[in-house]
Amino acid sequence: MSKCFKVVLLVICISILSLSFAYGKNMAKKTGIGFYQLSPIPGALSLRHWLSNKTALNFVCGLNFYERGGQDMHDVIMGIKLLSVVKSEKQLNAFIGGGLDLEFAGNGDSTTGYRMKFLTGIEYFFRGLPNLGFGAEIGLQLGEDIYENSFFGTTYGEVGVHYYY
């Protein structure tokens, strides 16, 4: 290889690496508190902590109030997700991940349900609002609810917002 070719190759490599570091929302060590619309409940509190620029843990907890057989019912859903960024832009992070939701029946019933989730999603930050992230996720879920209804291979979607400190 000629010396000129090596220099050009080195400049191209450095340029590509510097572009990958210049783009991407810096999320390392940031914690966001927010709200997520979980499937099947209308809303849940969410805590998302970014361990690094590429990895986050997301904790969610929500209450579901509904009527079944003429009785007012409620249950609690708690979940955790592990997210990994696959593409980052200046104001957008695209990620994949997996998670587990546990559902606990209320009204004295000791029944529990679970859902394993495999997901892909995005989180977008508007210009001028660098700490406010708007997100959406879609994915597949496996498991069953507290009434033993199966979620094997069903799809779901969620939207949410987090304010980062």
Query: Mean pLDDT for each consecutive 10-residue tract of the chain (165 residues)?
Result: 53 47 70 84 88 95 82 86 93 94 78 90 92 93 81 85 95
Q: What's the rounded Cα separation, in Å, for the pair 150 and 75?
A: 17
| Residue 84: strand pairing partners | 55, 96
Q: What's the rounded Cα separation, in Å, for the pair 135 and 103?
A: 23
Sign of CA dihedral 137, 143, 145, 147: positive
Per the domain annotation, does 88 fall within a domain? yes
Per the domain annotation, does 16 fall within a domain? no
pTM over 0.85: no
Per the domain annotation, does 97 fall within a domain? yes
pLDDT at 41: 65
Per the domain annotation, does 13 fall within a domain? no
Q: Are 117 and 100 in contact (CB under 8 A)?
A: yes
pLDDT at 35: 92
Total domains in the chain come to 1
Per the domain annotation, does 130 fall within a domain? yes
pLDDT at 17: 47
Q: Which domain holds residue 148?
A: 25-164
pLDDT at 51: 96
Residue 73's CATH number = 2.40.160.20
